[in-house]
Amino acid sequence: MRIRVTTRADLFEESKRQHIERGYRIEGERPIPVNGLCSFVAVEEIPGSDQVDEMVEQALNGNHIW
């Protein structure tokens, strides 16, 4: 799951730290304020999503694994 986080410039680093502590990976940082706001993208990896992706791909190719 990807979410764009927009925050006041003075809270930018604190907000990033909090998201990292919660297990998010930070991408697309925009630390230079525009109208007083900065942003970044927080990405949460869903455990097991690789397995689901593989199963969907196999099903779409006609390889039923169940």
**Could you state, in order of their start, the residue ranges of all structural domains in the chain?**
2-60
Q: Averaged over 36-55, what is the pLDDT?
A: 80
Q: Which helix (H) or strand (E) holds 55?
A: helix 49-60
Q: Give the list of residues 6+ apart from residue 29 with CB closer than 8 angstroms, or none.
A: 16, 39, 40
pTM for the model: 0.67
In the prediction, which pLDDT does 59 show?
Answer: 76
Query: In whole angstroms, how large is the CA radius of gyration of the chain?
Result: 18
Q: Which two tokens stand for residue 3?
A: 């979410």
- What is the tens place of the pLDDT at every residue in 46-61? 766 566 667 777 777 7
pLDDT at 30 over 80: yes
Q: Averaged over 21-48, what is the pLDDT?
A: 92
Is the CB of residue 18 less than 8 Å from the CB of residue 7? no
Mean pLDDT, all residues of the chain: 87
